Amino acid sequence: MIPCDVVYYRPGTLMEAYEAYRLLQIEGKKPLYYAGGSEIITMSRAGSIRPSAIVDIKRIPECMLLSANDEGLHIGSACTLNQIKESRLFPLLGSSCGRIADHTNQCRITLGGNLCGTIIYRETSLPLLLSDARVSLFGSQGMRTVPFQSVFHGRMRLKPSEVVVQIHVPGWALKAPFFHVKHTTNEKIDYPLVSAAALWKDGNMRIAFSGLCSYPFRSSKIEAVLNDWSMPVSARVDKAAELLPEEPYSDVEGSGEYRLFVLKNMLHALLEDYTNGKI
Amino acid sequence: MKSIGKSIWRKEAWDKVTAIAKYTDDLPATGVLSARLLTSTHAHAKIKKIDVSKALAVPGVKSVLTGKDCPVLFGPLLQDRPALARDVVRYAGEPVALVVAQGEAAAEKAVRLIEVEYEPLPFVLTPSQALAEGAVLVHGRPDGYRKTVTDVYPEAGTNIASRYKIRKGNVEEAFARCEAIVHERFSLPPSDHLAMEVRAARAEISPEGRVLITTSSQAPYSVRKQISEAFMIPAGQIQVRVPFVGGGFGGKVPVFLEILAFLASRSVGGKSVRLSLPREQDMASAPCRIGLEADIKLGADREGIIRAAQMTFRLDCGAYTDNSPYMAKAVAVDCTSPYHIENLNCDSLCVYTNHTYATSFRSFAHESYTFCVERAIDMLARRCGIDPLEMRLKNAIRPGSLTPTRVMCTGSLTGNLTECLKKVKALSKWEGGKAVKIKEDTVRAKGVACLWKTPNPPTDAASGALITFNPDGSVNLNTGAVEMGSGGQTNLAQILAEKLGMDPGMVHVVMDVDTRTAPEYWKTAASLTEYMVGRAVMRAADDALGQLRQNGAQALGCPPEEIEVANGRVFSKKNPEKFIAFKDIVQGYKTDAGLSIGEPVLGRGGFMLKGLSKLDPEAGKGKTGPSWTLGAQVVEVEASLKTFTYRIISASTVMDVGKVINPELMRSVIAGGMSMGVSLASREAFVYDQKGIPQTPNLRTYKLLHIGQEPDYRVDFVETPEEGSPYGVRSYTEHGIIGIPAALANALSAAFGREILSLPLTPERIWRAVKEDTDDSL
Amino acid sequence: MVRYEGKTVITLNVNGQPHEVMVRPADLLLDVLREQLGLTGAKPGCKNGDCGACTVIIDGWPAKSCLVLAVEAEGHVILTVEGLEGKAPIQKSFVKDNAFQCGYCTSGFLMVCHALQMQHPDMPEEHVIEEWLQSNICRCTSYQEIRRAVHGMYNNKGL
Among the partner-chain residues A20, A45, A56, the one whose CB lies closest to the CB of C72 is: A56
Hey, CA dihedral for A37, A38, A40, A46, is it positive or negative? positive
B60 touches chain C (CB under 8 A): no
CA distance B486 to B246: 11
Q: Is residue B701 part of a domain?
A: yes
Contact criterion met (CB < 8 Å) for B709 and A261: no
The answer to whether residues B211 and B67 belong to one domain is: yes
CB interface of C with B, residues 25-64, below 8 Å: 26, 34-35, 38-41, 43-48, 50-51, 53
With beta carbons under 8 A apart, name residues in chain A contacting B708. 188
Residue of C nearest to A108 (CA): C63
Q: Coil, strand or helix: which one is B181?
A: strand
Looking at residue A262, its amino acid is V
Angle ∠(C6,C10,C11) on CA atoms, nearest 5: 165
With beta carbons under 8 A apart, name residues in chain B contacting C79. none
Any idea of the CA torsion for B279, B285, B289, B291, to the nearest 10 degrees? 130
A159 touches chain C (CB under 8 A): no
CA distances from residue B675 to A129, B734, C10 in whole angstroms, order as listed: 41, 11, 44
C112 touches chain A (CB under 8 A): yes
Instruction: Concatenate the DSSP letters of all residues of B717-751 into one string.
Output: EE--PPTTSGGG----TTGGGTTHHHHHHHHHHHH
Residue of B nearest to C110 (CA): B17
The answer to whether residues B470 and B439 belong to one domain is: no
- Other CB atoms within a 10 A radius of the CB of residue B418 amount to 14
Q: Coil, strand or helix: which one is B476?
A: strand
Residue C146's nearest CA partner among C100, C89, C92 is C100
Give the strands of the sheet with B569-572, arranged side by side: B563-566, B569-572, B575-581
The answer to whether residues B551 and B579 belong to one domain is: yes
Q: B606 - beta bridge partners?
A: B464
The answer to whether residues B424 and B499 belong to one domain is: no
Contact criterion met (CB < 8 Å) for B645 and A186: yes
pLDDT reported for residue C158: 45
Segment (H or E) for B373: helix B366-384
The answer to whether residues B523 and B666 belong to one domain is: no
Residue of A nearest to C131 (CA): A103
The answer to whether residues B584 and B644 belong to one domain is: no
CA distance B458 to B465: 19
The answer to whether residues B306 and B404 belong to one domain is: yes
With beta carbons under 8 A apart, name residues in chain B contacting C98. 9-10, 664-665, 668
Q: Among the residues of chain A, which ranges form H helices?
A: 14-26, 38-46, 61-64, 81-87, 91-97, 103-106, 111-116, 125-130, 148-151, 171-175, 220-226, 233-241, 256-275
Among the partner-chain residues B108, B704, B708, the one whose CB lies closest to the CB of A3 is: B108
Residue of A nearest to B279 (CA): A46
Q: Is residue B705 part of a domain?
A: yes
Q: B165 - beta bridge partners?
A: B347
pLDDT reported for residue C159: 46
pLDDT reported for residue C157: 58
CA distance B309 to B174: 9
Give the strands of the sheet with A72-76, arranged side by side: A66-69, A72-76, A163-170, A134-139, A142-147
Among the partner-chain residues C47, C63, C72, the one whose CB lies closest to the CB of A107 is: C63
**Could you tell me which residues come within 8 angstroms of residue B51 by beta carbon, excluding any fewer than 6 positions away?**
B114, B115, B116
Query: Is the CB of residue B309 less than 8 Å from the CB of residue B345?
Result: yes
Contact criterion met (CB < 8 Å) for A47 and B105: no
Number of domains chain B is built from:
3
Query: Is the CB of residue A279 less than 8 Å from the CB of residue A200?
Result: yes
CA distances from residue B205 to B61, B141, C75 in whole angstroms, order as listed: 19, 35, 43
Substitution target from A10, A102, A106, A188 for chain C, most C beta carbons within 10 A: A102
The torsion angles phi and psi of B569, rounded to 5 degrees, stand at: -135, 155
Contact criterion met (CB < 8 Å) for C64 and A108: yes
Task: Sketch the domain layout of chain C as residue ranges.
Answer: 8-82, 84-155
C-alpha Rg value of chain A to the nearest Å: 19
The answer to whether residues B37 and B64 belong to one domain is: yes
Closest CA–CA distance from residue B548 to any residue of chain A (Å): 56
Query: Is the CB of residue B213 less than 8 Å from the CB of residue B202?
Result: yes
With beta carbons under 8 A apart, name residues in chain A contacting B703. 185-187, 190
Q: Coil, strand or helix: which one is B342?
A: coil
A11 touches chain C (CB under 8 A): yes
Closest CA–CA distance from residue A3 to any residue of chain B (Å): 4
What HEC string does A195-259 produce? EEEEEEECCEEEEEEECCCCCCEECHHHHHHHCCCCCCHHHHHHHHHCCCCCCCCCECCECHHHH
The answer to whether residues B626 and B513 belong to one domain is: no
pLDDT reported for residue B776: 62
Q: Among the residues of B171-219, which ranges form H helices?
A: 171-176
Closest CA–CA distance from residue A37 to any residue of chain C (Å): 7
Closest CA–CA distance from residue C129 to any residue of chain A (Å): 10
CA distance B312 to B294: 6
Range of the domain at B582: 13-17+461-608
Contact criterion met (CB < 8 Å) for B668 and C96: no
Query: Is the CB of residue B598 less than 8 Å from the CB of residue B410?
Result: no
Closest CA–CA distance from residue B106 to any residue of chain A (Å): 7
Q: Which CATH number goes with the domain that contains B267?
A: 3.90.1170.50
pLDDT reported for residue B1: 74
Query: Is the CB of residue A196 less than 8 Å from the CB of residue A137?
Result: no
For the segment B524-577, what is each residue's pLDDT rounded down to a tens digit? 999 999 999 999 999 999 999 999 999 999 999 999 999 999 999 999 999 999
With beta carbons under 8 A apart, name residues in chain C contacting B246. 43, 102-105
**Could you tell me which residues come within 8 angstroms of residue B133 by beta carbon, excluding any fewer than 6 positions away?**
none
Please state whether A142 falls in left (phi above 0), alpha (psi between -120 and 50) or beta: left
Residue of A nearest to C31 (CA): A1
CA distances from residue B534 to B3, B517, B527 in whole angstroms, order as listed: 14, 18, 12
Residue of A nearest to B762 (CA): A186
Domain end residue (candidates: B563, B585, B608): B608
Q: Which chains touch A (3 or more CB pairs under 8 A)?
A: B, C
CA distance B494 to B500: 10
A25 touches chain B (CB under 8 A): no
With beta carbons under 8 A apart, name residues in chain A contacting C63. 104, 107-108
> C84-155 architecture in CATH?
Orthogonal Bundle (1.10)
Angle ∠(A206,A212,A217) on CA atoms, nearest 5: 40
With beta carbons under 8 A apart, name residues in chain B contacting A186. 645, 682-683, 703, 762-763
Q: What share of chain B is helix, strand, coil (3-state, %, to 5)?
A: 30, 30, 40
Query: Is the CB of residue B451 less than 8 Å from the CB of residue B217?
Result: no
With beta carbons under 8 A apart, name residues in chain B contacting A185. 683, 703, 762-764
**Predicted confidence pLDDT, tens digits, chain A (279 residues):** 899 899 999 999 999 999 999 999 999 999 999 999 999 999 999 999 999 999 999 999 999 999 999 999 999 999 999 999 999 999 999 999 999 999 999 999 999 999 999 999 999 999 999 999 999 999 999 999 999 999 999 999 999 999 999 999 999 999 999 999 999 999 899 999 999 999 999 999 999 999 999 999 999 999 999 999 999 999 999 999 999 999 999 999 999 999 999 999 999 999 999 999 888
Query: Is the CB of residue B297 less than 8 Å from the CB of residue B172?
Result: no
Which domains, from first to last, does chain A contain? 7-56 (3.30.43), 61-173 (3.30.465.10), 177-275 (3.30.390.50)
Instruction: Concatenate the DSSP letters of all residues of C13-28 into one string.
Output: EETTEEEEEEE-TT-B
Helix axes B663-682, C144-155, angle to 10 degrees: 120
Among the partner-chain residues C40, C85, C107, the one whose CB lies closest to the CB of B22 is: C40
Residue B750's nearest CA partner among B675, B596, B603, B646 is B646
- Other CB atoms within a 10 A radius of the CB of residue C74 amount to 15
CATH superfamily for domain C8-82: Beta-grasp domain (3.10.20.30)
Residue C132's nearest CA partner among A64, A188, B17, A191 is A188
With beta carbons under 8 A apart, name residues in chain A contacting B768. 258
Contact criterion met (CB < 8 Å) for B768 and A258: yes
What HEC string does B44-111 produce? CEEEEEEECHHHHCCCCEEEEEEHHHCCCEECCCEECEECCCCCEECCCCCEEEEEEECCHHHHHHHH
B703 touches chain A (CB under 8 A): yes
B768 touches chain A (CB under 8 A): yes
Closest CA–CA distance from residue C85 to any residue of chain A (Å): 23
B486 touches chain C (CB under 8 A): yes
B683 touches chain A (CB under 8 A): yes
Residue B670's nearest CA partner among B654, B648, B684 is B654
The answer to whether residues B537 and B645 belong to one domain is: no
A211 touches chain B (CB under 8 A): no
Substitution target from A48, A187, A193, A253 for chain B, most B beta carbons within 10 A: A187
Segment (H or E) for A33: strand A31-34
The answer to whether residues B299 and B421 belong to one domain is: yes
Q: Which CATH number goes with the domain that contains B767?
A: 3.30.365.10
Q: Is residue B189 part of a domain?
A: no
CA distance B226 to B235: 9
Contact criterion met (CB < 8 Å) for B112 and A253: no
Burial class of residue B719 (count of CB atoms within 10 Å of its CB; 0-12, 13-18, 19+): middle
Q: Which residues of chain B have pLDDT under 70?
A: 775-778
Q: Coil, strand or helix: which one is B500?
A: helix
Looking from the CA of A250 toward its CB, the CA atoms found within 13 Å total 7
pLDDT reported for residue C156: 79
The residue ranges of DSSP E strands in C16-144, in sequence order, are: 17-23, 55-58, 61-64, 77-79
The answer to whether residues B382 and B527 belong to one domain is: no
CA distance B778 to C21: 70
Q: Is residue B579 part of a domain?
A: yes
C148 touches chain B (CB under 8 A): no
Q: Which chains touch B (3 or more CB pairs under 8 A)?
A: A, C
pLDDT exceeds 50 at position C53: yes
Substitution target from A45, A186, A250 for chain B, most B beta carbons within 10 A: A186
B32 touches chain A (CB under 8 A): no
Q: How does DSSP classify residue B532?
A: I
